[in-house]
Chains A and B, each alone.
Chain A
Amino acid sequence: MTYADTTHLPEDGPAVSPLRPGDDPAAIAVASQWTLMRHKFLRNKVALFAGFVVIFFYFVGIFAEFLAPGLPATAQPRFTYAPPQSIALWVEEDGERRFLPHVKGYAMEVDPESLRRKFTVDPEKVVPIGFFVKGAEYKMWGLFPWDRHLIGPLNKRDPMNLLGTDKLGRDLLSRVIYGTRISMSIGLIGVASTLLIGVVLGALSGYYGGWVDLGVQRLIEIISAMPTIPLWLGLAAAIPITWSPLQVYFIITLIVSLLAWTGLAREVRGRFFALRGEDFVTAARLDGSSQRRVIFRHILPSLTSHILAVVTLAIPTMIVAETALSFLGIGLKPPVVSWGVLLQDAQNVRTVATAPWLLIWPAGCVVMAVLSFNFLGDGLRDAADPYEH
């Protein structure tokens, strides 16, 4: 067939045929903005996948205590710089294969040249593991005492380090999982304060224009012009060392967000400028709406989807900022665990050479989280305007 047969289609309307048989092209007529956005977003498979990755990271962060096989601070002096073990499901016993999930234990040898202890995986030692095992005691969300872990050795004195250990023999998997909670939440909390400052100042600047706009814009320019790392250094140095790690955590979040709101404010201002001149906003003013109603009922709803997209793109900036600060040793400090704190352990070449897992896993998490947020944010931004093609 050279071309589709369209002769059966009606003469008194646009010729339309569904993509799949049974689809109703008219259903879109009653769809709200959010429905249209959802349709468009769901078609973007990369963004959808990134969304799942982000959800996974937050899930891990929320249930960190349960998901981690151990506690992040438990040192095992017997197993420093132990390499990662891998899970196997079958054991050979007397020529018979038996189902038994396990990891292999460690053998220690001493390097004859450097006289340094070195651990290798010993294929002879079998450490049986299981799901929902009893392990180290913790308080779920700091509230309920519990001792179950998703995965762990059946005998809690056996070593199980799926991602290896660090210089004090702490389990890297547990530390990465606890680090996820801190690193991912610093993004959220930071963005929440960014959002507040950015939207309020951006909206004021965009709606009123004139002197207000001039003032806010100059403030944004001054802040953007500051070299960030020295400024962070200065601010972080001003934190009293007597403060608890939790207080430091909050103040670091605040420092990062105080400098990051400018992009959002500019975006909001630009949209406000554009929308202020739209006919439907003029119509709302002529209808007698107060300024507050015009802003909150007419302009802001048109912005929410854009703000959402910008926020999603701002979170990874926060994560990277925190990582950078902690890596430089001026951000979070042990015993708080974040990806940046973990990367501090991988600062010298010797560690990277002998224990590369200390670099690979935390850095991999940062890269994955940042990429996912960026893809998700891009997808949201594209979906935010369902009337564009």
Chain B
Amino acid sequence: MGNVKHMEAPDLRLDQAALSVEGLSVDFHLRTHILHAVRQVSFDLYPGRTLALVGESGSGKSVTARALLRIIDAQAKVSGGTITLRGPEGETRLDELAPNSKAIRKVRGGRIGLIFQEPMSSLSPVRTIGAQIMESLRLHRNMDRRAARAETVRLLAQVEIANPEQMVDRYTFEFSGGMRQRAMIAMALAADPDILIADEPTTALDVTTQAEIMDLIARLQRERGMAMLLITHDLGLVAEVADDVAVMRYGRIVEQGTVDGIFHAPQAEYTRKLLGATLKLEKPAARPREAVDEAQPVLSVRGLSKGFGTTNWRGKQTFAIKAVDNADLDLMPGENLGIVGESGSGKTTLGRMLLRIIEPSSGQVTFRPGDGSEQDVTALSGTALAAYRQHVRLVFQDPFASLNPRMTVKQVIGDPLYVSGRARGKALDDRVAELLDLVGLEPSAMERYPHAFSGGQRQRIGIARALALDPKVIIADEATSALDVSIRAQILDLLLDVQKRLGLSFVFIAHDIQVVRYFCDRVAVMHMGRIVETGTAERICTAPDHAYTQSLISAVPSPDPRAKRMLHRTRFQP
């Protein structure tokens, strides 16, 4: 299925569609080539309805949204198409307005509100939240200072910020991530726009916060009858909030239709693949569970704590924050243990303490290499610690930052082998080729530099590096959260395959419940530095005991528009 055309001629809907895009194309003139980021994209936005533009990274969905407001980068050019904004005063052709003209500035923020992904970088750090919202009010609604302030307080109350009179004078850094996004929404709504464009509005937020923000956006949209364009990569979110869906891939809309149609009768092969990858993570991976009862745990954690804070003048530490508080864990041989929590719950700190990248403040980590001996990891130093780190390896979250851009793939994967003196010269080449084969890459990748690979391929390289020293345990810290849905499933399957072949144990740290349910046997849920609940993945995901776990699980969007979950979630007040 190629480009999807409008079902009807656009002029029949003159009085209905608030914004029509017809044949929009955007080209990026890059250093070495021209990238056709958006190719002949057409869609309509209707008042009171939400169109979700879904696609993986690089599909051109954000560029499309930015092209509507003419705020694309200088190297990008709109090479064709029309953008028509309809309002009470008639039609405006946005594509014909000069990029910095008065007319387009009136539309930006005035008729079309925009919410960005990263609320920290979209809000000015040096001005109060109130001043930034008031600026919009004074520009677009010609209010005086006093009226603008009153209206700002009203808007902040509307986006459910507590104590709006006080919060108006606070700075961005005093707001949490969710509150910043609320303030951003208040700013977008300040001029009472007809259309709201939300570009990945909840991607930087935790699931429970995401659920609250989406509630808020949906309520405001209903109340004001706005048309909304929601840009997201998360099909679950789409199923929860969208009315219509357009699926984008490589700059084209491959399929467009109602949310029910897309989810239950997808036409395009790509849509089916995308849905398949998402639905696959809805149930655990089919893999034989071994009996783990009688074996000794390979890694035992007892009372592990880490406090961040200051030392007083006698050198004694006084903790300001307990990042990890009294954590107990056991990792059985061949087991996948998930650690789930929201940002700031201490899961990454816990993972790093297992490797002593961060030194624990108190507690014990015991490692049993399998030969009957026991090692107290917290007391290791020098060569013993280096030997321990050969057994327990780390896979990083960010596949771009974790590979040295100045080294070829062979040097990256071969570095641990070279340093430990296990292989040199020809033997090193052979071992690297073998590892590349294990993670599903061609041996020809050896001489290439990391920038030549996509995110998924880079993560495979990172996994090959972790496997290079025949480890017993791999700690995967958000190893799949920077990847697209379809790649995520592939990487998880690769890890499961490697585990079956090499008999590894995994500590899998993630914020994403679906990934953990798919991958893990047992799950530990962390909240505010404490492990609140531990149990089998199946039980945690279907019948959690702790109130926090319940709220967490129920806030996860369900990728089925007929079984919405997020809006009926349980809430947790600590």
Roughly how many angstroms separate A319 CA and B25 CA in the complex, as a whole number?
A: 52
Roughly how many angstroms separate A375 CA and B34 CA in the complex, as a whole number?
A: 29
- A30 and B449 within 8 A (CB): yes
Roughly how many angstroms separate A284 CA and B389 CA in the complex, as a whole number?
A: 11
Roughly how many angstroms separate A2 CA and B402 CA in the complex, as a whole number?
A: 43
Digitize A263-298: 1 where CB-to-B-CB distance is under 8 Å, 0 elsewhere: 000000000000000111011111111100100001
- A279 and B398 within 8 A (CB): yes
Q: Does B31 contact A (CB under 8 A)?
A: yes
Interface residues of B, count at CB 8 A: 49
Roughly how many angstroms separate A302 CA and B404 CA in the complex, as a whole number?
A: 8
Report the minimum CB–CB distance from B59 to chain A (whole Å): 9
Q: Does A77 contact B (CB under 8 A)?
A: no
Closest Cβ neighbor of A279 among chain B residues: B402
- B33 and A19 within 8 A (CB): yes
Which residues in B have their C-beta under 8 angstroms from that of A11? Answer: 249-250, 252
- A4 and B33 within 8 A (CB): no
Which positions 459-514 of chain B face chain A at CB distance < 8 Å? 462, 465
Tell me which of B322-330, B339-347, B412-420, B530-538 binds A.
Answer: B412-420
Known: A6-B36, A16-B36, A23-B33. A280 touches B401 (CB 8 A): yes
- B250 and A3 within 8 A (CB): no
Q: Does A335 contact B (CB under 8 A)?
A: no
Known: A29-B448, A287-B416. A19 touches B251 (CB 8 A): no
Q: Does B355 contact A (CB under 8 A)?
A: yes
Contact of A4 among B79, B398, B420, B447 (CB under 8 A): B79
Extra pairs beyond A19-B32, A282-B394, A282-B402 (14, CB < 8 Å): A4-B25, A6-B251, A11-B249, A14-B35, A15-B35, A15-B37, A19-B34, A28-B32, A29-B448, A279-B401, A284-B404, A287-B415, A287-B419, A302-B404
Contact of A280 among B79, B80, B402 (CB under 8 A): B402
Q: Does A9 contact B (CB under 8 A)?
A: yes
Q: Does A32 contact B (CB under 8 A)?
A: yes
Q: Does B443 contact A (CB under 8 A)?
A: no
Report the minimum CB–CB distance from B467 to chain A (whole Å): 12
Known: A15-B36, A302-B404, A302-B405. A30 touches B31 (CB 8 A): no
- A298 and B449 within 8 A (CB): no
Contact of A284 among B393, B415, B447 (CB under 8 A): B415
Closest Cβ neighbor of B74 among chain A residues: A389
List, sorted by A's number, 17 A–B pairs whose CB atoms are closer than 8 Å: A2-B80, A4-B36, A11-B250, A11-B252, A15-B35, A16-B33, A17-B33, A19-B29, A19-B33, A30-B448, A30-B452, A31-B449, A32-B449, A43-B31, A280-B402, A287-B389, A302-B405
Digitize A356-387: 1 where CB-to-B-CB distance is under 8 Å, 0 elsewhere: 00000000000000000000000000000001
Report the minimum CB–CB distance from B145 to chain A (whole Å): 39
- B452 and A29 within 8 A (CB): yes
Roughly how many angstroms separate A28 CA and B31 CA in the complex, as a whole number?
A: 11
Interface residues of A, count at CB 8 A: 45
Q: Does A333 contact B (CB under 8 A)?
A: no
Roughly how many angstroms separate A286 CA and B58 CA in the complex, as a whole number?
A: 32
- B396 and A33 within 8 A (CB): no
Q: Does B149 contact A (CB under 8 A)?
A: no
Closest Cβ neighbor of B25 among chain A residues: A3
- B390 and A288 within 8 A (CB): yes
Q: Does B565 contact A (CB under 8 A)?
A: no
Which residues in B have their C-beta under 8 angstroms from that of A19? Answer: 29, 32-34
Report the minimum CB–CB distance from B461 to chain A (whole Å): 11
- A3 and B80 within 8 A (CB): yes
Known: A3-B79, A282-B357. A17 touches B25 (CB 8 A): no
Roughly how many angstroms separate A280 CA and B413 CA in the complex, as a whole number?
A: 12
Which positions 178-192 of chain A face chain B at CB distance < 8 Å? none
Which positions 1-56 of chain A face chain B at CB distance < 8 Å? 2-4, 6, 9, 11-19, 23, 25, 27-33, 36, 39-40, 43
- B404 and A280 within 8 A (CB): yes
Which residues in A have their C-beta under 8 angstroms from that of B393? Answer: 286
Which positions 281-340 of chain A face chain B at CB distance < 8 Å? 282-290, 293, 298, 301-302
The total number of A-B Cβ pairs within 8 Å is 127
Roughly how many angstroms separate A29 CA and B452 CA in the complex, as a whole number?
A: 4
- A39 and B31 within 8 A (CB): yes
Q: Does B50 contact A (CB under 8 A)?
A: no
Query: Closest 9 A-B residue pairs measured CB to CB?
Result: A3-B80, A29-B452, A279-B402, A15-B36, A287-B416, A25-B33, A279-B401, A280-B404, A3-B79
Closest Cβ neighbor of A298 among chain B residues: B404
Roughly how many angstroms separate A301 CA and B396 CA in the complex, as a whole number?
A: 22
* Interface positions of B (Cβ within 8 A of A): 23, 25, 27, 29, 31-37, 39-40, 58, 75, 79-81, 249-252, 355, 357, 386, 389-390, 393-394, 396-398, 401-406, 415-416, 419-420, 447-449, 451-452, 462, 465
Closest Cβ neighbor of B3 among chain A residues: A7
- A16 and B35 within 8 A (CB): yes
Roughly how many angstroms separate A27 CA and B39 CA in the complex, as a whole number?
A: 25
Known: A15-B250, A283-B394. A288 touches B420 (CB 8 A): yes
Pick the most buried of A16, A39, A302: most chain B CB atoms within 10 A of its CB: A16
Which residues in A have their C-beta under 8 angstroms from that of B40? Answer: 3, 6
- A6 and B33 within 8 A (CB): no
Which residues in B have their C-beta under 8 angstroms from that of A33? Answer: 405-406, 449
Which residues in B have their C-beta under 8 angstroms from that of A293? Answer: 419
Which residues in A have their C-beta under 8 angstroms from that of B357? Answer: 282, 285-286
Pick the most buried of A4, A25, A279: most chain B CB atoms within 10 A of its CB: A279
Roughly how many angstroms separate A32 CA and B462 CA in the complex, as a whole number?
A: 19
Which residues in A have their C-beta under 8 angstroms from that of B416? Answer: 287-288
- A387 and B405 within 8 A (CB): yes
Which residues in B have their C-beta under 8 angstroms from that of A284? Answer: 404, 415
Report the minimum CB–CB distance from A39 to chain B (whole Å): 7
Closest Cβ neighbor of B450 among chain A residues: A280
Report the minimum CB–CB distance from A121 to chain B (whole Å): 53
Roughly how many angstroms separate A280 CA and B449 CA in the complex, as a whole number?
A: 14
- B32 and A286 within 8 A (CB): no
Closest Cβ neighbor of A10 among chain B residues: B250
Known: A30-B452, A289-B415. A283 touches B33 (CB 8 A): no
Which residues in B have their C-beta under 8 angstroms from that of A286? Answer: 355, 357, 389, 393-394
Which residues in A have their C-beta under 8 angstroms from that of B58? Answer: 14
Roughly how many angstroms separate A6 CA and B448 CA in the complex, as a whole number?
A: 30
Roughly how many angstroms separate A39 CA and B404 CA in the complex, as a whole number?
A: 20
Which residues in A have their C-beta under 8 angstroms from that of B249? Answer: 11
Closest Cβ neighbor of A277 among chain B residues: B401
Which residues in A have their C-beta under 8 angstroms from that of B252? Answer: 11
Roughly how many angstroms separate A28 CA and B406 CA in the complex, as a whole number?
A: 14
Report the minimum CB–CB distance from A76 to chain B (whole Å): 56
Roughly how many angstroms separate A271 CA and B325 CA in the complex, as a whole number?
A: 34
Contact of A289 among B75, B396, B419 (CB under 8 A): B419
Known: A30-B452, A33-B405, A284-B415. A17 touches B34 (CB 8 A): yes
Closest Cβ neighbor of A283 among chain B residues: B402
